[in-house]
Structure 1
Amino acid sequence: MQALKESAIGPNFDSLPFNNALRELWSQLGAVDSSFGLDRAWTQTGDTYLLLLVTTIPTISLGSIEIPRLLIGLWQLSSPAWGTASSQEMQSSLLELVSRGFTAADMADHYGDAEIIFGTFRRSLPKEINERMLTCTKWCVFAPPDRPPTSEWVASKVHERRDRCGGYLDVLQFHWQEYSDKSYLLIIHHLIELSRSALHVVKAIGLVNFDAERTDEICTYLNRDWNGEGRVISNQVQYSLIDQRPRFRLANVCKKHGIKLLTYGTYCGNFLSDKWLGKPSPNLYADSITPSQRKYFDMIKLWGGWELFQELLVALRRIADAHGGSIDIANVAAKWVLEKEEVASVIVGTRLGVSSNAASNLRVFTFTLSDRDYAAINAVLDKSKAEEMFHQMGDCGSEYRHSSH
């Protein structure tokens, strides 16, 4: 490779020897692991050329969008509480993620500079890789707007998101705080209209933290409004072995209307991992505990408590061992969610430049859960208060509407 790089100022894909060498390289890499495909592209930083070997991970169709079954989530950029890194460290982290197949990112208008960071990064990528990237962000309306929600106003909000994302906007996900104000129906109508008439602005529309009742209402409204020609493709909600609320009502709504869930909180702030197996309950005031972990620990207590949670971790560890290799607890926890019919993708929280579990997260695609695995998991889940949590907390997203987000 060094000889190839030194033979010209920059790479020339028209060069026969260069192409032959690359084909041989790809052939050897494919022999190492045939589970994933590989694409190639050059990216340039100053005078330095880097060859990106981009893994192809499984995708699923959401309308016209092909979305990877794992997305990187950039919520952690909303606060330094998750750690900080330099721009160069974040750039390097994103390059590693893309090379491993994480070509789709989830962010929001209130995640700090996440949109700008990812948008700038995407613009720096060569065309071959850029075309595979997916920018998924959110427009979150936490208070009723101070003006009528006209199509022009809605379009201006979408353009804000697109501009901050570097000119790319594949999936815009919409959150609306006040259910009592039905303006969200008109806004979603305008969003669908924009996605149908201006694909260069936004390609698809999704929802964020809408419960089953309102998701059904929105999908029914759009079906009537657009005669089945316009619809949302997804709803992003919390879903895990601990928080199973989507399966009680929302799953049936998804099946009825042909939409899928993008899930966050699937790893419960990393509590569903080998790190916590056999450990005492955490000190929530410790510096090492993140804001997300404080939230998810409260959910674990509602679900059944730390002792039952340890039973679950033991069961997951045994399942991981049975599948061999380097499968871990987090892989099994994510697989349980990914195998749900209503789920399209799991969002993996990412601390850019601080830490990375990218390689281990990909192992979720190397096994499937057996009937015996499900029986072992259900033996623990049957002892939990999962359904009581649904009634106590309310349906998906209710926790954000009972108090300020």
Structure 2
Amino acid sequence: MEKRKIGSSTLESSLIGLGCMSLGTEEKKAREIIEAALESGITYFDTADLYDFGVNEKIVGNALKKVRNDVVIASKVGNRWKNQKDGWTWDPSKSYITEQVKSSLKRLQVDYIDLYQLHGGTLDDPIDETIEAFETLKEQGYIKEYGISSIRPNVIKEYAERSQIASNMMQYSLLDRRPEEQAFPILEKHNVSVMTRGPLAKGMLTEKTFEKASESIKKDGYLYYSYESLKETLYSLLERFKEDRTMNELALKFNAANPIVGSIITGASSPEQVKSNVRAVSGDPLSKEEYELLKALTNGRGYSVHRI
């Protein structure tokens, strides 16, 4: 599988990464999915201390022990579970980040985390203190690189300009092109890779298309699309490309066509889903004409809040 460099760092990621949040807590089933990913050439695995109260990190760590030096393990920090575990609070402080990484290292059974990411962020955060925390962990060898996970252009701008982040994880798909207007230019300027999540738009950019539209989407639409305009857009995509590309293929290759994308993070509930995503992104990339047509058929409007 194609490998891409993550920002200006020395890390490289497979074009498709496995988002581990949806693995669940049944270890045997989760391990089968992770093994299918490894067999398919996936080398990037994304987890977080928040997922299943840390159980997700334990499962990922167990499954990747034998291939530790061949993979990129990414985790996240900043969301602090309440004592009752009935919710969490936001804590981007240096003290919390530098302490919490030790718990993640233990659960993952590793000496260092390849990419440690701030799991959110606002302009009200102590940004310099947060950056100092990640820089300290990097100097101490607990992490190789660090990044953020944000869809807020104003927050992204602060970190891109004031820190050495290698990456930013954010939602991006044919149906959510909001990052293109403000976020991507900032990240490109500072050589920061985008790790995209949600490339299949809750399953609507798969072969199941409308079957995956929830009742809330049918009622309220999806982002800037009413349900009627969403149907029109999806029908247009299906009609224009029915002879040449599957919907999965269009969705994943649209992400892949942008050089700022370091990895396309897809979740999976079965080994076959992993293999299907890898097949969809393999083969001939989109032509320039196909890429421009996809942009013409979809909504490219930027973010309406948290703008620069």
**Among residues 106, 114, 129, which one is paired with 1:186 in the alignment?**
129
Alpha-carbon RMSD across the aligned residues, in angstroms, is 2.8
SS of residue matched to 2:228: helix
Residues 238-288 of structure 1: CA distance to partner in whole angstroms, max 9, x if unpaired? 111111111110111112111011111110111111212xx478453xxxx
Partner of 1:374: 291
Aligned-pair identity in percent equals 20
Q: Residues 220 and 299 of structure 1: is their aligned pair in 2 closer, same or farther, counting only changes over 3 Å? A: farther
Taking structure 1 as reference, are residues 320 and 99 closer, same or farther at Cα in structure 2, changes over 3 Å only? farther
CA 1:322–1:282: 2 relative to 1, 3 Å: closer
Q: Check conservation: 1:315, 1:376, Cα contact below 8 A.
A: no
Give the 3-state SS of the residue equivalent to 1:108 in structure 2: coil
Equivalent positions of 1:279-298 (< 5 A) are 279=210, 282=213, 284=215
User: Structure 2 vs 1, CA of residues 235 and 340 (structure 1 numbering), >3 Å: closer, same or farther?
Assistant: same
Q: Which is worse superposed, 301-310 or 59-68?
A: 301-310
2:19 aligned partner: 73
Candidates 304, 310, 334, aligned match of 2:225: 304
Q: Given the alignment of the two structures, is residue 358 of structure 1 paired with residue 280 of structure 2, yes or no? A: no
Distance in 2 (alpha carbons) for counterparts of 1:73 and 1:158: 19
Higher RCO (C-alpha under 8 Å, 6+ residues apart): 2
The farther-off stretch of 156-165 and 260-269 is: 156-165
- Residue of structure 2 equivalent to 1:261: 194
Partner Cα distance (2:34, 2:247) in 1: 25
The 5 A counterparts of 1:210-221 are 211-221=152-162
| In 2: Cα distance, 1:283 partner to 1:207 partner | 29
Q: Mapping of 1:207-246 within 5 angstroms?
A: 207-209=148-150, 211-222=152-163, 231-246=164-179
- Where 1:206 maps in the other structure, the secondary structure is strand
- Mark the CA change 1:395 to 1:115 in structure 2 (over 3 Å): closer, same or farther: farther
Do the aligned partners of residues 302 and 144 (structure 1) sit closer, same or farther apart at CA in structure 2, a change above 3 Å counting?
Answer: closer
In structure 2, distance between residues paired with 1:394 and 1:242: 20
TM-score, structure 1 normalization: 0.65
Match of 2:73 in 1: 135
Alignment-derived partner of residue 172 in structure 1: 116
Are the equivalent residues in 1 in contact too, given 2:151–2:179 (CA < 8 A)?
no
Q: Which amino acid aligns with 1:256?
A: K
The TM-score, its normalising length taken from structure 2, stands at 0.84
- Tell me the distance in 2 between the aligned counterparts of 1:99 and 1:311: 38
2:79 touches 2:90 (CA, 8 Å); kept in 1? yes
> Which of 84, 91, 94 is matched with 1:149 structurally?
94
Residue 390 (1) aligns with residue 303 (2): yes
Number of the residue aligned with 1:33: none
| Structure 2 CA distance for aligned equivalents of residues 371 and 160 of structure 1 | 46
Match of 2:145 among 197, 201, 204: 204
Residue pair 1:72, 1:102 contacting (<8 A) in 2 also: yes
Contact 1:207 1:236 in 2 (8 A): yes
Residue 369 of structure 1 aligns to which amino acid in structure 2? L
Displacement of 1:170 after TM fit?
0.9
In structure 2, stretches of 5+ residues that fail to align are 81-88
**Which segments of 5 or more consecutive residues in structure 1 lack a partner in the other structure?**
1-56, 78-83, 223-230, 285-293, 397-405
Q: Which residue of 1 aligns with 2:32?
A: 92
What corresponds to 2:184 in structure 1? 251
Aligned-partner residue type, residue 310 of structure 1 = K
